Amino acid sequence: MTSIISIKNLNVTSNKHVMLKDINIEIEYGDCIAILGPNGAGKTTFLKTVNGLIRQKSGTVKVLGMPLDNDIKSKIGYIPQNNYFDSLLPISVRDVISIGISAQFGIFKKFTNFDNKTIEDIAKGLNIFNLIDKPIGQLSGGESQKVSIARVLAQNPKLILMDEPLSNLDNKAQTDILNLIDFIYQEQTITLLIVVHNLTQIPKSCNKVVLIADGQIIDSGKKEDVFKHNKFKELYNL
């Protein structure tokens, strides 16, 4: 079985600044991986590279066994860090979820009753159907994060990338989103990569951990193994 993500000798630089150094990693289908590391370590750059958003790189990145062309990118759902919406944006929750359908089928797709039902079913599944006709900018942080998750599910992705999905949420919203991540991981055959800011933010479903520091993967493997290693303990002063 091939890996869902295969990265070989990846280096990313920007204006001579090295952002990722000699990254080599294979990620298996169905894994739920927490990506940990200090601020500025390169976690966001890593996710963007997997999503084909970074061009200044050397080495190879394959997803689903293929280079990152548009067809492959449509199978990757991405929730960026600090994913805020302007409070005056004249776009409803329904519109935002429908972006996921366009990402899957292209922007010229005509929306059918079937698509509308898909959107509504996803909203119901995530308990946000009551918000479906609200303007996106008027939701709480936790609610808008749920809408972002609904948007990527509408894309029917094989892989979901989330960049610090709990940042700037209060404790209750953090617990809500963690439960939602566990729920979608159990319901779908999906691979998840989640950048988390601290150890309490690791979803229960994550069975593996990748540690990034200073642009390099300094450790990776099963969560319980990585947690025993000195590199991990040093990074988190444990």
Ligand X SMILES: Nc1ncnc2c1ncn2[C@@H]1O[C@H](COP(=O)(O)OP(=O)(O)O)[C@@H](O)[C@H]1O
Alpha-carbon span 185 to 190, nearest angstrom: 6
Looking at beta carbons only, is 37 or 100 nearer to ligand X? 37
Alpha-carbon span 225 to 115, nearest angstrom: 43
| Burial track 67-87 (b if 16+ CB lie within 10 A, e otherwise) | ebeeebebbbbbbbeebebee
Tokens 């963690």 correspond to what residue?
A: 178
Looking at beta carbons only, is 41 or 178 nearer to ligand X? 41
Instruction: Tell me the sheet residues that pair with 60.
Output: 8
Looking at beta carbons only, is 44 or 98 nearer to Mg ion? 44
| Contact set with Mg ion (CB under 5 A) | 43-44
Looking at beta carbons only, is 19 or 101 nearer to ligand X? 19
| Smallest distance from ligand X to CB 213, Å | 9
Q: Which of residues 6-35 bind ligand X (CB under 6 A)?
A: 14-15, 17, 19
| Smallest distance from ligand X to CB 61, Å | 15
| Smallest distance from Mg ion to CB 163, Å | 6
Cβ 194 vs Cβ 172: under 8 Å? no
Structure tokens at 42: 């390169």
Q: Out of Mg ion, ligand X, none, which partner does residue 17 contact, by CB within 5 to 8 A per kind?
A: ligand X
| Smallest distance from ligand X to CB 134, Å | 30
Q: Out of Mg ion, ligand X, none, which partner does residue 113 contact, by CB within 5 to 8 A per kind?
A: none
Q: What is the CA radius of gyration of the chain?
A: 18
Look at residues 235, 190, 208, 164 and name the one whose alpha carbon lies nearest to residue 76. Answer: 190
Q: Which of residues 39-78 bind ligand X (CB under 6 A)?
A: 39-45
CB count in 10 Å sphere of residue 170: 12
The correct pick among 37, 77, 142, 157 for binding ligand X (CB under 6 A) is 37
Looking at beta carbons only, is 64 or 235 nearer to Mg ion? 235
Looking at beta carbons only, is 43 or 151 nearer to Mg ion? 43
Cβ 153 vs Cβ 103: under 8 Å? no
Tokens 């991540």 correspond to what residue?
A: 181
**Please, is 207 exposed, middle or buried when counting C-beta atoms within 10 Å of its C-beta (0-12, 13-18, 19+)?**
middle
Q: Out of Mg ion, ligand X, none, which partner does residue 45 contact, by CB within 5 to 8 A per kind?
A: ligand X
Interface with ligand X (CB under 6 A): 14-15, 17, 19, 37, 39-45
